[in-house]
Amino acid sequence: MSRPYRSALYIPGSKVRALDKARGLPVDVILFDLEDAVAPDEKITARDTLAEELGKGGYGNRLRVVRINGLDTQWGEADARAADAMACDAVLLPKVNGVADVDALARLTGKPIWAMMETPLGVLNAAEIAAHPQIEGVVLGTNDLAKDLNTRHRADREPLITSLQLCLLAARAHGVVAVDGVYNAFKDEEGFKVECEQGRDMGFDGKTLIHPAQVAAANAAFAPTAAEIDLAERQIAAFAEAEAAGKGVAVVDGKIVENLHIVTARATLAKAKAIAALEAE
């Protein structure tokens, strides 16, 4: 893993104070928002403010992603052209329904594209969206999805599980990043931790956030633990020893270790290394 995606914080493009505060926050990804966090009468000034703040720099090594308005809105096309010229790493397109939406944005920017998966059609077309050559990440928009599906909020997110898994399957099939949706009750630390752990256990790379108070818990939940790092190192060593002895299988802590477990163990160590590199900045 070349970089971690544990925490992806939305920041309204209209809020200069928050844009500045983000320069000092230990997040892995910043989602600079021009869409739902910005009121209609602030859309155009937010676009200019964001261009200026990104131009000033100071966001370090964090991935800078600009969420534009949909291309079917009055602001979308100008946002896309402006984002193409901004000092950012990728453009996030909301409410993607199918690959044609991604193609439309690809005609306006050569930057990597991330797609919000937050409509029923988008979820059903997740595989073709994730397969687009410019797509580098998918982000779950669980608020919009819950609205469109008419689901009730449940702590276990059972009504959303199929959608989450379809998007994750698409992302993994096509080798792109997958980031889980937001947890709206930003003062509920325990509920947030539980939802982070659920997303992590499902396989997401990280979680989208709405408030700085959520950063530390997301970073902790999506990082390998000391015990996982220790196990990965012991599995790699034991497997190397077994191979040297002409065996294809090792045993660690009473469990077999085969080549496929070594792939996971190496990925765990690579993720820990990528986190350490980002945090050393």
Ligand X SMILES: CC(C)(COP(=O)(O)OP(=O)(O)OC[C@H]1O[C@@H](n2cnc3c(N)ncnc32)[C@H](O)[C@@H]1OP(=O)(O)O)[C@@H](O)C(=O)NCCC(=O)NCCSC(=O)C[C@H](O)C(=O)O
CB of 212 vs ligand X, minimal distance in Å = 5
Binding mask 208-247 for ligand X (x = CB under 6 A): --xxx-----------------------------------
The answer to whether 134 and 91 have CB atoms below 8 angstroms apart is no
Which DSSP string corresponds to 238-259?
HHHHHHHTT-S-EEETTEEE-H
144 in a known ligand binding site: yes
Asked if 10 touches ligand X (CB under 6 A), the answer is yes
Candidates 130, 168, 162; CA nearest to 145 is 162
Q: Is 22 in the site for ligand X (CB under 6 A)?
A: yes
Q: Are 101 and 92 in contact (CB under 8 A)?
A: no
Residues 6+ apart with CB under 8 A from 214: 7, 9, 183, 186, 192, 207
142 binds, among ligand X, Mg ion, none (CB under 5 to 8 A by kind): ligand X
Q: What is the spatial distance between Cα 175 and Cα 98, in angstroms, rounded to a whole number?
A: 18
What is the C-alpha separation between 37 and 14, in angstroms, rounded? 8
118 labelled binding-site residue: yes
Contacting Mg ion within 141-170 (CB under 5 A):
141, 144
Shortest Cβ distance from residue 270 to Mg ion (Å)? 31
Applying CB under 5 A, does 180 fall inside the site for Mg ion? no
Q: Which of residues 63-122 bind Mg ion (CB under 5 A)?
A: 118
The yes or no reply on residue 12 touching ligand X (CB under 6 A) is: yes
Within 13 Å and on the Cβ side, how many CA atoms surround 133?
3
User: For ligand X, which stretch binds (CB under 6 A), given 99-107, 166-174, 205-213, 218-226?
Assistant: 205-213
Q: What is the DSSP string of 179-202?
A: EE---S-TT-HHHHHHHHHHHHHH
Cβ neighbour number for residue 71 with a 10 Å cutoff? 19
Asked if 127 is part of the footprint of ligand X (rule: CB under 6 A), the reply reads no
Q: Is 62 annotated as a binding residue?
A: no
Q: Which is nearer to ligand X, 125 or 163 (CB)?
A: 163
Q: Which does 112 bind (CB under 5 to 8 A by kind): ligand X, Mg ion, none?
A: none
Site residues for ligand X per CB under 6 A: 9-12, 17-18, 21-22, 33, 36-37, 116, 118, 141-144, 181-182, 186, 210-212
